[in-house]
Structure 1
Amino acid sequence: MSHILVIGSANADHVMNFEYLPVPGQTLKSRSYRLEHGGKGANQAVACARLCLPDSRVDFICHLGQDSIGNEMRDSWLKDGIQAEGITLVDNVSTGTAMIFVADNGENAIGIAAGANAHLTPLELEKHYALFANAQYLLIQLETPTETVSNALQMAKRLGITTVLNPAPAATQELDYLKWVDIITPNETEAEALTGIEVKHEEDAKLAAQWLHQQGITTVVITLGSKGAFISSPGFTGLIPALTVQAIDTVAAGDTFNGALVVGLSEGMSIAAAVSFANAASAITVTREGAQRAIPYRSEVSR
Structure 2
Amino acid sequence: MRYDRLLHLGHVVVDLVLEVPALPERGGDVLATRSEGTPGGGFNVMAAAARQGLPVTYAGAHGAGPFGDRARAALRAEGIETLLPPRTEGDTGFVVCLVDAEGERTFVTSPGAEATLTPEDLTQLRPGPGDVVYLSGYGLLYEANRAALTGWVPQLAPAVTLVVDPGPLVHEIPSAALELLTARADWWSCNAREAELLTAIADPSAAAHALQSRLKRGSALVRTGPDGCLLHHDGTLDVIPGFAVDAVDLNGAGDAHTGAFMAALAQGLAPAAAARRANAAAAMAVTAPGPATAPDAHALDDFLRQARPAPVPRGTTS
Structure 2 unaligned residues grouped into runs of 5+: 141-145, 303-318
8 Å contact 2:91–2:113 — kept in the other structure? Answer: yes
Describe how 1:206-225 pairs up with structure 2 within 5 A.
208-225=208-225
Structure 1 residue 238 displacement after superposition: 0.9
Describe how 1:66-145 pairs up with structure 2 within 5 A.
66-84=64-82, 86-106=83-103, 108-126=105-123, 128-130=124-126, 132-133=127-128, 135-145=130-140
Q: 1:30 maps to what in 2? A: 32
8 Å contact 1:62–1:117 — kept in the other structure? Answer: yes
8 Å contact 2:105–2:250 — kept in the other structure? Answer: no
Q: 2: distance between equivalents of 1:24 and 1:57?
A: 44
Structure 1 residue 221 displacement after superposition: 1.0
2:179 maps to a residue whose letter is D
Q: 1: distance between equivalents of 2:291 and 2:196?
A: 25
Q: Among residues 172, 176, 179, which one is paired with 2:179 in the alignment? A: 176
Structure 1 unaligned residues grouped into runs of 5+: none
Structure 1 residue 28 displacement after superposition: 3.9
8 Å contact 1:21–1:108 — kept in the other structure? Answer: no
Q: 1:269 maps to what in 2? A: 269
Q: 1: distance between equivalents of 2:106 and 2:147?
A: 27
Q: 2: distance between equivalents of 1:62 and 1:45?
A: 12
Matched position secondary structure for 2:90: coil
Cα 1:194–1:33 shift into 2, 3 Å: same
8 Å contact 2:191–2:222 — kept in the other structure? Answer: yes
Q: 2: distance between equivalents of 1:116 and 1:163?
A: 24
Structure 1 residue 147 displacement after superposition: 3.2
Q: 1:62 maps to what in 2? A: 60
CA offsets 1:117-150 (integer angstroms, 9 cap, x no match): 2112333222x324x2475211221112333443
Structure 1 residue 107 displacement after superposition: 5.8
Q: 2: distance between equivalents of 1:190 and 1:279?
A: 18
Cα 1:168–1:92 shift into 2, 3 Å: same
Structure 1: which 4+ aligned runs deviate by more than 4 Å?
A: 105-109
Q: 2:280 maps to what in 1? A: 280
Coordinate RMSD, CA, aligned = 2.2
Matched position secondary structure for 2:275: helix
Q: 2:160 maps to what in 1? A: 161
Q: 1:229 maps to what in 2? A: 229
Cα 1:273–1:236 shift into 2, 3 Å: farther
Cα 1:258–1:69 shift into 2, 3 Å: same
Cα 1:152–1:291 shift into 2, 3 Å: farther
Matched position secondary structure for 2:139: coil
Q: 64-73 or 268-277: which moved more?
A: 64-73
Structure 1 residue 235 displacement after superposition: 7.3
Cα 1:228–1:112 shift into 2, 3 Å: same
Q: 2: distance between equivalents of 1:24 and 1:153?
A: 41
Matched position secondary structure for 2:167: coil
TM-score with structure 1 length normalisation? Answer: 0.87
Q: 17-26 or 223-232: which moved more?
A: 17-26
Cα 1:225–1:135 shift into 2, 3 Å: same
Structure 1 residue 273 displacement after superposition: 0.9
2:61 maps to a residue whose letter is H
Q: Among residues 8, 11, 35, which one is paired with 1:9 in the alignment? A: 11
What is the percentage of aligned positions where both structures have the same residue? Answer: 26
How many residue pairs match? The answer is 290
CA offsets 1:170-223 (integer angstroms, 9 cap, x no match): 4234222210111101111111111221134x3x24xx3244334414211111
Q: 2: distance between equivalents of 1:185 and 1:30?
A: 32
Q: 2: distance between equivalents of 1:123 and 1:26?
A: 45
